Amino acid sequence: MVKRDVILSKISQLKEYIDFLKEIRNIPKDEYIMNKFVYGSAERFLHLAIEVTFDICNHIISDLRLRKPENYKDIFKVLFENNIISKTQLEKFTKMAGFRNILVHDYAKINREMVYEIIRNNLNDFEEFIDTISEYI
């Protein structure tokens, strides 16, 4: 049985990070790219959103005693294998797991324009994830 209160608490955190990112995505691209406080905040909140997504998945995997994931990308494969997320979500979140590694390990090489585009165009992936998990629990 999934601990609903734990998942809902994590979803609340994720929504908070998404709200911060929504504020940032309204900033003009030129200002975003030039302002280290803005792009630094965006990268951090995006990183936190990805991490809390992992936490949600790992709680579900643990609570249901599913196969232990081998790495971040495998977390989503486990959920897909158990019909919790769709194939489309698996593909999106597998890419996100890879992007998380760039944010954490290759931070000096981060392409600010790419992060800006992710924030402008892909926050709905998180919202779709929230809807899927909320329906599941």
> 83, 87, 63, 61: which is closest to 72 by C-alpha?
61
| pLDDT at position 48 | 95
Query: Domain map of the chain by residue range?
Result: 4-136
What phi, psi does 126 have (nearest 5°)?
A: -65, -45
Kindly indicate the confidence band of residue 131, based on its pLDDT and cuts at 50, 70 and 90: very high
Determine if residue 33 is left, alpha or beta; phi over 0 gives left, psi from -120 to 50 gives alpha, anything else beta: alpha
Q: Is CATH 3.40.50.300 correct for 4-136?
A: no
- What is the structure's pLDDT at 107? 66
User: For 49-107, what is each residue's pLDDT tens digit?
Assistant: 999 999 999 999 999 999 999 998 999 999 999 999 999 999 999 988 888 877 887 76
CA 125 – CA 71 distance, rounded (Å):
21
HSE-up of 111 (CA within 13 Å, CB side)? 5
Report which DSSP code applies to 110: -
- Among 23-27, 38-42, 96-100, the least confident range: 96-100
